Structure 1
């Protein structure tokens, strides 16, 4: 067997490096786009122009961690909105106002740490801290694991005055 010509020995690693760089650039673009979508959705929500829930794929799998009245796994956008979001909103006189504290994106995942506050129907305050790990596919959120202060949520749901 003859050794490959010098040009082929140089070209093969170069082509491999370009292919990897192209994939890395595509991933970087997708990561930046996902982060931008989340930032914009939270800002729209904060401004009362929309909600981050508009990013959800109809078949999203959303898990609320912990032990609260809405903890569990929901297998669709509608199930999550009906059985988790709506019962929380029913206890509030004002929408939750989110404030993003930190956002990190890597590959198809975005993690956002945020705080939310609202006024309850009884006139008290509701405040909570959240960490959401969101996974994207084709510009839509397909999987979420949401962490929050379940004690604060329990107090809201049982009508206890105020929230820490």
Structure 2
């Protein structure tokens, strides 16, 4: 009888396991990581950037001490005061290479390397770690960590439009 009970309970255990693995928490987690992975792929292919995922009122915090370190309280503010000054010093767009993506609930953390050529033809290479919070498929908060020494060098060495 014990063997029969075990056999009868197996399909229930499998069904319960499948139901739990497709619960909204897991689906959301995977969906956000997938969105981020796709955004990085698009960026590599020149079809957009990760910034396309930002909600208009997203908060972006750049850690450290660089000319762009600080808190930005909107996508527009961040793009204008941080992304644009960096991009203005580059001859090529930053090409990202993702090292890892870790997701839990609505938080996705990505470790990635970026490489570009500055206007003075010297390489710009940096490593980034972005701790991103998602809501309804959009990024609402980012805490960005990077090698600010490398960024400071670019910002002071290269003048925009040089």
- CA drift of 1:47 comes to 1.1
Aligned Cα root-mean-square deviation (Å)? 1.5
Matched, 1:35 2:33: yes
Task: Tell me what 1:127 maps to.
Answer: 125
When the two structures are superposed, what TM-score results if normalisation uses the length of structure 2? Answer: 0.84
1:74-153 equivalences under 5 Å are 74-153=72-151
Instruction: Structure 1: state its 5+ residue gaps.
Output: 1-17
CA distance in 1 between partners of 2:150 and 2:41 (Å): 24
CA distance in 2 between partners of 1:54 and 1:43 (Å): 12
CA distance in 1 between partners of 2:92 and 2:83 (Å): 14
User: What per-residue deviation string (whole Å, max 9, x for no partner) do you get for residues 24-76 of structure 1?
Assistant: 81010001000000000001101111100000000000000000010000000
Corresponding pairs, count = 141
- CA drift of 1:113 comes to 0.0
Task: Tell me what 2:61 maps to.
Answer: 63
CA distance in 2 between partners of 1:88 and 1:97 (Å): 14
1:45-60 equivalences under 5 Å are 45-60=43-58
Task: Tell me what 1:7 maps to.
Answer: none
- CA drift of 1:159 comes to 1.3
Task: Tell me what 1:15 maps to.
Answer: none
CA distance in 2 between partners of 1:35 and 1:91 (Å): 30
Instruction: Structure 2: state its 5+ residue gaps.
Output: 1-15
Which runs of at least 4 in structure 1 moved beyond 3 Å after TM superposition?
Answer: 21-24
Task: Tell me what 1:9 maps to.
Answer: none
